[in-house]
């Protein structure tokens, strides 16, 4: 209360979830005079943690806790508020404590909605809301390996729960009352494409089918889920994730206004019907809506912090909640899903441009104005590369044609992006907020921008645009743009490569301790893993290196649609003996694998369970095969025609050269995958000019072409040198590859590397041929070391019992195969069970 001479005001925050935590942090950052004395009362024993990343607690044992408040904040946990006395301005906790306030903020969040169906209180029925919920779920599933379960709700959190249950070894079904998955974020086409992905991973989806009730099994716990269509699903575990309900019981109990369907009614400043009480987050009903996303909740916290500071300074608060950007991007079970703006074409006259590819599992839709110039919204499933650009341009004129933008042909904007564009929807940070922070605070890196504006600190999907804005501001100010690999390393990938090479560092831990900060991320860890492998640091699954790898490298195989893996033995130059062909056929037959000849003259074997991989490779290794590195950022293949040995037009032995190149560069780890080809004459049957390094025979020797690639953005390779003999050809390729590995950025193909290289192909000739940098001897020696040290990764793995321990479907049930993997016959082979879909189509109307 206000008393003459009082220097501090008392703020009580009820609820210590993300919104409550954000309010306290925002107020402490701005309240330089310390005018507020803050008490936070949380219901859970744990302090605030990141609910957005809840599933990673189960799947990765991630640490979710938010940073602790400073010591001036009083935090009471595990003692929920049970009553509010507005007249006395006090709150009472479950332990009987009475705490007075001058201002009260309710941040009580929401509770999972559990439909009032028969059996909802049976043992084995859970919700998916807190860490305690997840611990209970894990304990229950751990006692029932291979059990069947049901998630009720096919929204975002429901699919996260299904992913977590599947990871715990549960054969999982998803029941969604709407006709398609994620109906609040996706349109029907996007929802159906997502369903294809989800079911390809072994989950079963029941959409448009409400649940009728739960039935007990023989042990008295839940055992069966009845559906409204008369069918039923056997289930020993059920998780409800069918929406949320605002926690407004405290507001009701003290007479605050609440909405007809729940939620504490607040104005656009988040003030309730009592001027001394505010409400933020999922408990608040603002503008007739309750928001369940982190972005709007954070915005409410910022609004209230502004008004509370105004109370102590005598300046009227100006902040107001002006709605929220509900755009979202996430990766569900390895599937990119995004929606932005208005994904349902609700604007009069809006047009939609739709692209569907059921084979690749891609669905893209843009909603544009009737003149096709202004972006209104859209949906992306299976490929969300263009999301940062698209979200930034919602409500603005597209930077290119809709087709260019849809397929990532327009780079994320920097300096020309409208100032009011919301870059970080989670924290409501605009382009101008970032620009002003960079200029006013002299920021030079993404970490600084994150710390100053909080952009990119939640879901992280806006970080590429944040980097673009930062770089544009630095360039405009005449400041050299940082080439830092990520916020944990100030150095570029090329600089880190040299640090590791010169110092002899062999572990990520030592590198980040001596030359970085923090614990690393999914950007720097795989990049450093690649550097260590390129410099011959032992087997990639040895010790700490195993934890740095991408998913495919962790199992030395490419994961496919339904959670199985592909097996790709190396076939140098495409040349193979009948005996080896027979072995591949026998392995495919005995393990029931799908077989296909690849475009790189190899044989792919698809459909292997993770637990089958070691035995498959044991047989292949015994027959003389080795890893084809189809899973790695390494040399894939060296394709060839039959050359002068068989072809009447051939002028050189292209097969022999292709085999020589492939055996020389096999296992060579690089910033990105490498492909090559050798053609025996100018007819170019091996398509060498579309490869990272390509060789074409001439009457006098070989022509060498560098830095080409196929794919979505094909590039013709540049002619580097002509009429080379064998040894000179190899020497130039050696130096090219080692110079690329030493200087390229992470995940940068040779084509984009050469385009970014100042001086281009001419500069490359100076380095490789003329030795302008004086490093050719080093590059030659580095390649010699690689060739001498090569060892087949799969042979080493099957000979090491410790490495083999990772090849199980379920860690808690090593001998149990994954029951969710299913196939059906097609053309006398297997294929993953998928829903039927339309043919490839592009629709514009």
Q: Looking at the domain assignment, is residue 604 inside a domain?
A: no
What pLDDT score does 461 carry?
A: 65
Residue 254, annotated ligand binder?
no
Sign of the four-CA dihedral 683, 687, 692, 694: negative
Q: Looking at the domain assignment, is residue 617 inside a domain?
A: no
* Total H helices, total E strands in the chain: 27, 39
Q: Who wins on pLDDT, 601 or 658?
A: 658
Report the alpha-carbon distance of residue 838 to residue 825 in Å, rounded: 20
CA distances from 618 to 138, 570, 607 (A): 34, 14, 17
User: From the CB of residue 415, how many other CB atoms can be counted at a distance below 10 Å?
Assistant: 13
Determine contact, residues 12/39, Cβ cutoff 8 Å: yes
Q: What is the pLDDT of residues 158-189, one digit of tens each?
A: 888 888 888 888 889 999 999 999 988 888 98
Residue 702 CA, distance from chain mean position: 43
Report the alpha-carbon distance of residue 702 to residue 796 in Å, rounded: 36
One domain for residues 523 and 638: no
What pLDDT score does 559 carry?
A: 77
Per-residue pLDDT at 412 exceeds 60? no
Measured CA angle at 487 (ends 483, 490), to 5 deg? 45
Q: Who wins on pLDDT, 147 or 97?
A: 97
Token code pair at residue 220: 């008295």
The rounded percent of the chain whose pLDDT value lies above 70 is 92
One domain for residues 51 and 136: no
**pTM of the full structure:** 0.58
* Greatest mean pLDDT among 232-241, 711-720, 804-813: 232-241
The rounded percent of the chain whose pLDDT value lies above 90 is 42
CA atoms within 13 A on the CB side of 437: 23
Query: Dihedrals φ, ψ of 285, to 5°?
Result: -105, 105
Token code pair at residue 53: 């990343």
Per-residue pLDDT at 47 exceeds 90? yes
What pLDDT score does 841 carry?
A: 34
List, in sequence order, the alpha helices (H) in 426-577.
Answer: 431-440, 446-453, 463-476, 493-503, 508-515, 524-534, 545-548, 551-554
Report the alpha-carbon distance of residue 9 to residue 308 in Å, rounded: 10
CA atoms within 13 A on the CB side of 280: 32
Report the alpha-carbon distance of residue 257 to residue 254 in Å, rounded: 9
Q: Looking at the domain assignment, is residue 664 inside a domain?
A: yes
* Mean pLDDT confidence for 200-204: 85
Q: Who wins on pLDDT, 332 or 117?
A: 117
Q: What CATH number should be reported for the domain holding residue 208?
A: 3.50.50.60
Q: Which of 270-284, 314-328, 666-680 is least confident?
A: 314-328
404 band by pLDDT with thresholds 50, 70 and 90: low
One domain for residues 284 and 416: no
What pLDDT score does 736 carry?
A: 97
Sign of the four-CA dihedral 70, 74, 79, 81: negative
Report the alpha-carbon distance of residue 93 to residue 250 in Å, rounded: 11
Q: Which neighbouring-strand residues pair with 380?
A: 338, 364
List, in sequence order, the alpha helices (H) in 114-173.
Answer: 131-142, 156-167
Per-residue pLDDT at 110 exceeds 50? yes
Question: Closest by alpha carbon to 662, among 676, 645, 650?
Answer: 676
Q: Looking at the domain assignment, is residue 805 inside a domain?
A: no
What pLDDT score does 451 carry?
A: 80
Per-residue pLDDT at 599 exceeds 60? yes
Q: What is the pLDDT of residues 374-397, one digit of tens each?
A: 888 899 988 877 787 788 788 877
611-635 burial, b at 16+ Cβ within 10 Å, e below that, comes to bbbbebbbbbbebebbbbbbbbbbb
484 band by pLDDT with thresholds 50, 70 and 90: confident
* Mean pLDDT confidence for 813-830: 75
Q: Which of 19-28, 45-54, 345-354, 410-419 is least confident?
A: 410-419
What pLDDT score does 102 carry?
A: 95
What pLDDT score does 712 carry?
A: 57
Q: Who wins on pLDDT, 827 or 333?
A: 827
One domain for residues 169 and 277: no
User: From the CB of residue 141, how many other CB atoms can be counted at a distance below 10 Å?
Assistant: 24
One domain for residues 90 and 224: no
Determine contact, residues 376/347, Cβ cutoff 8 Å: yes
What pLDDT score does 87 carry?
A: 96
Report the alpha-carbon distance of residue 511 to residue 499 in Å, rounded: 9
What pLDDT score does 713 carry?
A: 65
Q: Is 482 helix (H, G, I), strand (E, B) or coil?
A: coil
Per-residue pLDDT at 842 exceeds 50? no
One domain for residues 699 and 779: yes
Report the alpha-carbon distance of residue 93 to residue 110 in Å, rounded: 19
667-681 burial, b at 16+ Cβ within 10 Å, e below that, comes to bbbbbbbbbbbbbbb
Report the alpha-carbon distance of residue 419 to residue 355 in Å, rounded: 30
416-433 burial, b at 16+ Cβ within 10 Å, e below that, comes to ebeeebbbbbbbbbbbeb
Determine contact, residues 278/310, Cβ cutoff 8 Å: no
Q: Who wins on pLDDT, 51 or 121?
A: 121
What pLDDT score does 711 carry?
A: 67
User: From the CB of residue 54, how many other CB atoms can be counted at a distance below 10 Å?
Assistant: 21
What pLDDT score does 610 carry?
A: 86
Residue 685, annotated ligand binder?
yes
Determine contact, residues 39/314, Cβ cutoff 8 Å: no
Q: Looking at the domain assignment, is residue 722 inside a domain?
A: yes
Long-range Cβ contacts of 250-253 (<8 Å, 24+ apart): 250/14, 250/81, 250/83, 250/84, 250/106, 250/108, 251/84, 251/106, 251/279, 251/283, 253/83, 253/84
Q: Which of 224-238, 309-323, 635-649 is least confident?
A: 309-323
Q: What is the pLDDT of residues 499-520, one digit of tens each?
A: 998 898 988 889 999 999 888 8
* Greatest mean pLDDT among 39-43, 462-466, 551-555: 39-43
Token code pair at residue 780: 């030659």
User: From the CB of residue 524, how many other CB atoms can be counted at a distance below 10 Å?
Assistant: 26
One domain for residues 654 and 760: yes
Measured CA angle at 708 (ends 706, 711), to 5 deg? 160
* Full domain range(s) for residue 501: 493-537
One domain for residues 645 and 746: yes
One domain for residues 652 and 729: yes
What pLDDT score does 334 carry?
A: 67
Q: Looking at the domain assignment, is residue 386 inside a domain?
A: no
Q: Who wins on pLDDT, 530 or 84?
A: 84
Token pair 């979505």: residue: 712
238 band by pLDDT with thresholds 50, 70 and 90: very high
What pLDDT score does 844 carry?
A: 33
Per-residue pLDDT at 786 exceeds 90? yes
Pairing label, strands 565-567, 558-559: antiparallel
Q: Looking at the domain assignment, is residue 618 inside a domain?
A: no
What pLDDT score does 48 carry?
A: 92
Residue 452, annotated ligand binder?
no
CA atoms within 13 A on the CB side of 783: 22
One domain for residues 256 and 201: no
Residue 681, annotated ligand binder?
yes
What pLDDT score does 597 carry?
A: 86
Q: Who wins on pLDDT, 465 or 226?
A: 226
* Mean pLDDT confidence for 44-49: 92
Q: What is the pLDDT of residues 290-306, one digit of tens each?
A: 988 888 898 899 999 99
839 band by pLDDT with thresholds 50, 70 and 90: very low
Determine contact, residues 463/446, Cβ cutoff 8 Å: yes
Number of domain units in the chain = 5
What pLDDT score does 293 carry?
A: 81
CA distances from 466 to 399, 421, 454, 461, 756 (A): 18, 12, 11, 10, 21
460 band by pLDDT with thresholds 50, 70 and 90: low
Q: Which of 152-156, 401-405, 792-796 is least confident?
A: 401-405
Per-residue pLDDT at 332 exceeds 70? no
One domain for residues 151 and 201: yes
What pLDDT score does 688 carry?
A: 93
Considering the chain, what is the average pLDDT of its residues?
A: 86
Q: Who wins on pLDDT, 678 or 562?
A: 678
Q: Looking at the domain assignment, is residue 329 inside a domain?
A: no
Q: What is the pLDDT of residues 694-712, one digit of tens each?
A: 999 999 999 999 999 876 5
Q: Who wins on pLDDT, 181 or 560?
A: 181
Query: Dihedrals φ, ψ of 135, to 5°?
Result: -60, -45
Determine contact, residues 434/381, Cβ cutoff 8 Å: no
Report the alpha-carbon distance of residue 341 to residue 510 in Å, rounded: 44
One domain for residues 107 and 250: yes
């Amino acid at each position: 209360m206000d008393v003459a001479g009082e220097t501090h005001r008392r703020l009580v925050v009820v609820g210590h979830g993300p919104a409550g935590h954000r309010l306290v942090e925002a107020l402490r950052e701005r309240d330089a005079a310390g005018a507020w004395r803050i008490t936070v009362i949380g219901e859970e024993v744990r302090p605030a943690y990141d609910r957005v990343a809840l599933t990673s607690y189960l799947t990765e044992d991630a640490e979710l806790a938010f940073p602790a408040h400073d010591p001036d904040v009083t935090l009471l946990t595990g003692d929920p508020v049970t009553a509010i006395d507005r007249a006395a301005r006090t709150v009472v906790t479950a332990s009987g404590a009475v705490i007075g306030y001058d201002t009260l903020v309710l941040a009580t969040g929401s509770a999972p909605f559990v439909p009032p169906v028969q059996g909802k209180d049976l043992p084995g029925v859970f919700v998916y809301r807190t860490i305690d919920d997840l611990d209970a779920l894990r304990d229950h599933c751990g006692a029932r390996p291979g059990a069947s379960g049901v998630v009720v709700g096919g929204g975002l959190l429901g699919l996260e729960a299904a992913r977590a249950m599947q990871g715990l070894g549960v054969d999982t079904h998803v029941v969604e009352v709407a006709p398609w998955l994620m109906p609040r974020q996706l349109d029907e086409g996007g929802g159906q494409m997502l369903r294809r992905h989800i079911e390809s991973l072994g989950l079963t989806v029941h959409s448009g089918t409400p649940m009728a009730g739960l039935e007990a099994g023989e042990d008295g716990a839940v055992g069966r889920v009845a559906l409204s269509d008369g069918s039923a699903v056997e289930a020993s575990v059920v998780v409800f994730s069918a929406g949320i309900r605002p926690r407004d019981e405290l507001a009701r109990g003290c007479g605050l206004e609440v909405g007809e369907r729940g939620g504490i009614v607040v104005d656009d400043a988040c003030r309730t019907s009592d001027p001394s009480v505010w409400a933020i987050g999922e408990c608040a009903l603002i503008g007739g809506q309750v928001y369940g996303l982190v972005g709007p909740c954070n915005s409410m916290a910022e609004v209230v912090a502004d008004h509370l500071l105004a109370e102590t300074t005598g300046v009227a608060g100006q902040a107001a909640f002006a709605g929220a950007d509900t755009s979202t991007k996430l990766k569900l079970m390895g599937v990119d899903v995004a929606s932005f703006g208005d994904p349902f074409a609700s604007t009069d006259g809006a047009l939609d441009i739709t692209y569907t590819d059921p084979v690749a599992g891609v669905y893209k839709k843009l909603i544009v104005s009737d003149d096709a110039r202004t972006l209104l919204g859209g949906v992306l499933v299976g490929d969300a590369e263009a999301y940062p650009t698209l979200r930034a341009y919602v409500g603005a004129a597209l930077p290119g044609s809709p087709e260019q933008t849809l397929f990532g042909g327009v780079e994320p904007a920097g300096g020309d992006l409208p100032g009011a564009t919301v870059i970080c929807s989670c924290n409501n940070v605009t382009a101008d907020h970032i620009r002003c922070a960079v200029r006013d605070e002299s920021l030079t890196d993404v970490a600084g921008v994150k710390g100053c504006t909080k952009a990119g600190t939640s879901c992280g999907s806006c970080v590429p645009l944040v980097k673009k804005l930062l770089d544009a501001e630095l360039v405009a100010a005449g400041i050299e743009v940082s080439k830092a690999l990520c916020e944990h390393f100030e150095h570029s990938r090329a600089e880190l490569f040299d640090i590791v090479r010169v110092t002899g560092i062999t572990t990520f831990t030592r590198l980040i301790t001596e030359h970085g900060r923090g614990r690393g991320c999914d950007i720097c860890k795989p990049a450093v893993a690649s550097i260590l492998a390129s410099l011959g640091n032992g087997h990639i699954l040895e010790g700490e290196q195993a934890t740095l790898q991408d998913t495919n490298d962790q199992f030395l195989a490419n994961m496919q649609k339904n959670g199985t893996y592909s097996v790709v033995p190396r076939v140098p130059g495409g040349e193979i003996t009948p005996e080896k062909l027979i072995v591949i056929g026998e392995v495919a037959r005995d393990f029931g694998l799908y077989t296909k000849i690849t475009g790189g003259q190899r044989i792919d074997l698809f459909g292997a369970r993770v637990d089958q991989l070691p035995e498959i490779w044991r047989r292949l290794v015994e027959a003389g095969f080795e890893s084809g590195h189809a899973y790695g950022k390494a040399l894939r293949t060296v394709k060839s025609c039959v050359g002068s040995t068989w072809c009447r037009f051939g002028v050189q032995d292209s097969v022999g050269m292709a085999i020589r190149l492939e055996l020389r560069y096999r296992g060579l780890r690089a910033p990105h995958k490498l492909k090559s080809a050798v053609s025996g004459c100018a007819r170019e049957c091996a398509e060498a000019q579309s490869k990272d390094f390509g060789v074409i025979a001439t009457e006098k020797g070989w022509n060498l072409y560098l830095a080409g690639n196929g794919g979505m953005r094909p590039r013709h390779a540049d002619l580097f040198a002509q009429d080379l003999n064998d040894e000179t050809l190899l020497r130039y390729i050696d130096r090219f590859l080692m110079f690329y590995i030493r200087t390229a950025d992470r995940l940068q193909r040779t084509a984009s590397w050469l385009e970014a290289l100042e001086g281009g192909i001419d500069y490359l000739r100076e380095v490789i041929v003329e030795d302008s940098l004086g490093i050719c001897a080093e590059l030659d020696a580095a390649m010699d070391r690689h060739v001498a040290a090569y060892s087949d990764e799969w042979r080493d793995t099957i000979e090491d019992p410790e490495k083999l321990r990772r090849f199980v479907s379920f860690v808690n049930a090593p001998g149990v195969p994954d029951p969710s993997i299913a196939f059906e016959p097609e053309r006398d082979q297997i294929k993953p069970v998928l829903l039927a879909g339309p043919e490839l189509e592009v629709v514009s109307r």
